[in-house]
Amino acid sequence: MRKGRNPNGEYKIHRTALNAVAGPIEEARGLPNYFYVDPRAFACECKQVFAQGWTCAGFAKDAPHRGSLFPFEFAGMPLLMVRGDDNHINVFHNVCRHRGRILVDTPSTVKKAIACPYHRWTYSLTGKLTGTPHIGGPGQHSCADFEKNNVKLSKVRSAEWFGLIFIDLSNSAEDFDRYIAPLAERWRAFNGVPLIHTGADCTIEFALDCNWKLAVENYCEAYHLPWVHPGLNSYSPLEQHHNIVSQGYSGQQSTCYAPGVSDSVLNFPDAPNLPPFWESGAEYISLFPNVLLGLHRDHFFAVLIQPNGPGQTIERFEIFYFDEAVREDAYAAARESNRDLWQSVFAEDQDAVEGMQRGRHSPGFEGGLFSPAMDPPTHAFHAWTARALLNGRAVNNIAAE
Ligand code: FES
Ligand SMILES: [Fe+2]
């Protein structure tokens, strides 16, 4: 096969570079520019990274009620989140089994049936085909040669954790519990806490002109704090951040978290019965491949990284509190201040990640160097991605054990 004809074959010419990424940090180079700017590399990532294992795709709050339908796209693929009568969320490919129209165009809530706008075939909330109007001719809603009971929407394996919806497009990844176990164990003190989201004052969205990986790797590290976030660094300095590198995730731990966005607003209630670390501790973790998490004793946030081609990324930032009391008007100013604080911090990062993206067009850059002291979390993400690109996620998981 000619080089360049097969999107999967494309990255093979970068095997040497990918192997160098996955090597020891002292010798490693970062992922080459190709993986940040080239549509063929992005297609390869969609296949090797996003479609091969557990990937964050949305928030449980996107489908808030029984019967809620939430259409969304992930890596160019139309998907549909459905909250069933049992309050459980399922994810389906958002396409009608008849002639392939997108099944649901906009978020909505239905009582029982999901109806295709084209010829009105209907499906139950669990995806079974239930209605086929005129399928046997005008007025004939069934047909001897068509067994409707055998037809279902195409389902995507999914799981919910910490208010997030994860999908496994391959249908063959390890059990979700196994995927999430290292981080779930780390954060077990927060098991079962209520996650309270109060709407617009808990939501931020950023459209970034950069590759999705730059958003992830920038979040992993605290190295840039003094220069990119001088305000944040004044009360949460670099010296009080420590690297976290683990199986399937990396990031930073802060040991100087002081709740309270300002003296003039209420503090949020803490999650109950936390170990002493969380009194002044906080953790900021990139869970590979595409979700950024921040955990504090009084609030949690998650940033879903939605890749949209090699040079475009959407960040969906959602804040959650741990007590119903935060819904009260008394907390309105505090909620707004907290959202504004995170909005300004992430806006400071936008310039950095878009600057790195522009740098990826330079032939004078070949993946970059890592500081063995400051960049282990970034290198962990690069190495994880390189292994996924080289061998697929299933092999990656085994290699990490
Ligand atoms: S395409 Fe959906 S009913 Fe025909
Ligand atoms: Fe930052």
The domain spanning residue 132 has which CATH number? 2.102.10.10
Tell me: do 258 and 360 sit in the same domain: yes
* 83 part of a folded domain: yes
* 19 part of a folded domain: no
**361 Cβ closer than 6 Å to some ligand 1 atom:** no
What is the pTM (predicted TM-score) of this model?
0.93
Tell me: do 212 and 151 sit in the same domain: no
Tell me: do 210 and 357 sit in the same domain: yes
Of 92, 93, 104, 116, the one to substitute when testing ligand 1's pocket (max ligand atoms within 8 A of C-beta) is 116
Q: Residue 233: its pLDDT value, please?
A: 81
Give the number of domains in the chain: 2
Ligand nearest to the CA of 131: 1
Ligand nearest to the CA of 102: 1
Query: Among residues 139, 161, 183, which one ends one of the domains?
Result: 161
Tell me: do 199 and 128 sit in the same domain: no
Where in the sequence is the domain holding 216, given as residue range(s)? Answer: 192-390
Tell me: do 157 and 290 sit in the same domain: no
Residue with the nearest Cα to atom 3 of ligand 1?
Answer: 119
Q: Residue 234: its pLDDT value, please?
A: 84
* 45 part of a folded domain: no
Q: Residue 15: its pLDDT value, please?
A: 84
Tell me: do 258 and 308 sit in the same domain: yes
Query: Among residues 161, 184, 213, which one ends one of the domains?
Result: 161
Tell me: do 105 and 219 sit in the same domain: no
Dihedrals phi, psi of 192, to nearest 5 degrees: 80, 5
Mean pLDDT of 83-101: 98
Q: Residue 1: its pLDDT value, please?
A: 35
| pLDDT over threshold 60, residue 8 | no
Q: How confident is the model at residue 10 (pLDDT cuts 50, 70, 90)?
A: low
**Distance (Å) from CA 103 to ligand 1 centroid:** 8
Q: Residue 46: its pLDDT value, please?
A: 93
233: CATH: 3.90.380.10
**121 Cβ closer than 6 Å to some ligand 1 atom:** yes
**Distance (Å) from CA 345 to ligand 2 centroid:** 7
Mean pLDDT of 217-239: 90
Most confident of the ranges 7-21, 100-114, 386-400: 100-114
